[in-house]
Amino acid sequence: MPVLNDRADSSMPGGEDNSVMIGSADFGLPGGEKIRGLLHKLSEGYHPSEQEWRFLIAGEYDRNLLYTKADEMRRKQYGTDIYIRGLIEISSYCKNDCLYCGIRRSNSHAQRYRLSKEDILSCCEQGYGLGFRTFVLQGGEDAYYTTKQVAGIVQSIKERYPDCAVTLSLGERERTDYEVWYKAGADRYLLRHETASKEHYQKLHPPGITYEHRMQCLRDLKQIGYQTGCGFMVGSPFQGTEELIADMKFLQEFRPHMVGIGPFIPHYDTPFREYAQGSLTQTLTMIALTRLVLPKTLIPATTALGTIHPQGRELGLQAGANVVMPNLSPPAVRGQYSLYDNKRCTGDEAAEGLEELKQCVAAIGYQIVVDKGDSRMKTDV
Ligand code: 5AD
In CATH, what number is assigned to the domain containing residue 220?
3.20.20.70
* pLDDT surpasses 80 at 19: no
CA distance 343 to 87: 14
Atom of ligand 1 nearest to the CA of 267: 10
Question: Within a domain: residue 41?
Answer: no
The answer to whether residue 1 is domain-embedded is: no
- Contact residues for 284 (Cβ-Cβ < 8 A; gap 6+): 20, 63, 67, 315, 316, 319
Residue type, 96: N
Question: What's the 3-state SS for 52-77?
Answer: HHHHHHHCCCCHHHHHHHHHHHHHHH
Boundaries of domain holding 147: 75-369
Which of 339, 344, 345 should be mutated for ligand 1, with most atoms under 8 A from CB? Answer: 339
pTM over 0.85: yes
Looking at the domain assignment, is residue 18 inside a domain? Answer: no
Tell me what the mean pLDDT of segment 76-89 comes to: 97
pLDDT at 321: 98
Residue 9 has pLDDT above 50, yes or no: no
Q: Is residue 202 a part of any domain in this protein?
A: yes
For residues 8-36, give the mean pLDDT: 49
Measure 103 CA to ligand 1 centroid, in angstroms: 10
Query: Best of 91, 96, 99, 100 to mutate for ligand 1, by most ligand atoms within 8 A of CB?
Result: 100
d(CA 328, CA 349): 9
pLDDT digits (tens, 9 = 90+) for 247-283: 999 999 999 999 999 999 999 999 999 999 999 999 9
Residue 23 lies in a domain: no
Q: Assess if residue 3 is contained within a domain.
A: no
For residue 21, being part of any structural domain is answered with no
- Per the prediction, the chain carries an average pLDDT of 91
Q: For the chain, what is the domain count?
A: 1
Is 322 within the bounds of a domain?
A: yes
Angle formed by the axes of helices 50-58 and 241-254, to 10°? 110
pLDDT band at 134 (very low <50, low <70, confident <90, very high): very high
